[in-house]
Amino acid sequence: MTNLTNWTKPSIPAIFFLAALALCSAASAQTDVAASLYGAFSGTTNGNGTVQSPSNSAGGLLELRHIDNPLIGYDVTYSYNRANQTYKFPAGQPCPTGGCTVAAVSANAHELTGDWVVSLHGANLRPFALAGVGLLFNEPTGNQSNTASATKPAFVYGAGIDWGLLPHIGVRFQYRGNLYKAPNLSRLFTSTGAFTHTSEPMLGVYFRL
């Protein structure tokens, strides 16, 4: 008869490996809040007889992040930046009856996202990568005529590194990118219907709870 004792009794190396894995997971667990400043750099889109040019601007981002282990982490974010838009007709296109006017819309952009985060932890450094989805709310400011709000879903991705300076305080360097359909805030022009991309290099501070 086969002796099952050796199969059911865990070996010392296996116990050591499981204990080390548990300690590593515990050491990797982290919940923090962070505030970052960033630059928002967006590309021009062209389609349906409209050229849309967003202005570059500065913004701020607030994050709540929780990491259980290297493969399971998530965060929720809120960000704000100015998002002025300029609309015009393409060069060489015949002007409409109203003339080749240019529409400049002063606007704000608010974004809410939820992201999946993977990370590693060694010494006082934690490199990470993220991907998620969100909603981008574009709101014209003041009482501008012939304008409208626009809400667009966005795909978010990014990467960065946390650098712990004190037991609960550190610096966060990261890059985030947003891919979404260009918002049409002017009723004088047709939507380009094109996807655009916003690059957001960031520098911030986090506080570990």
Domain positions in the chain: 30-208
Structure tokens at 126: 């934690």
pLDDT of amino acid 16: 46
**Cβ atoms < 10 Å from Cβ of 40:** 23
Cβ neighbors of 14 (< 8 A, separation 6 or more) are none
Q: Is 203 helix (H, G, I), strand (E, B) or coil?
A: strand
pLDDT of amino acid 183: 94
- Going by the DSSP 8-state scheme, the letter that residue 187 receives in this structure is T
pLDDT of amino acid 90: 85
Report yes or no: 65 and 152 within 8 Å, Cβ to Cβ: no
Q: In what order do the strands lie in the sheet with 45-47?
A: 45-47, 50-54, 85-88, 103-105
**Separation CA 70–CA 79 (nearest Å):** 25
pLDDT of amino acid 102: 85
Q: How many helices (H) and strands (E) does the chain have?
A: 2, 12
User: Would you list the DSSP string of 75-118?
Assistant: EEEEEEEE--EEEEPPTTSPP-TT-S--EEE-EEEEEEEEEEEE
pLDDT of amino acid 11: 58
**Separation CA 136–CA 71 (nearest Å):** 27
Residues of the chain with pLDDT under 70: 1-28, 92-100
Correct CATH for 30-208 of 3.30.2080.10, 2.60.120.680, 2.40.30.30, 2.40.160.20: 2.40.160.20
Nearest to 186 by CA among 58, 55, 84, 96: 84
**Separation CA 159–CA 157 (nearest Å):** 7
- Going by the DSSP 8-state scheme, the letter that residue 9 receives in this structure is S
Structure tokens at 167: 């037991």
pLDDT of amino acid 49: 86
The pLDDT tens digits for 99-153 are 567 889 999 999 999 999 999 988 899 999 999 999 999 999 998 999 999 999 9
pLDDT of amino acid 54: 94
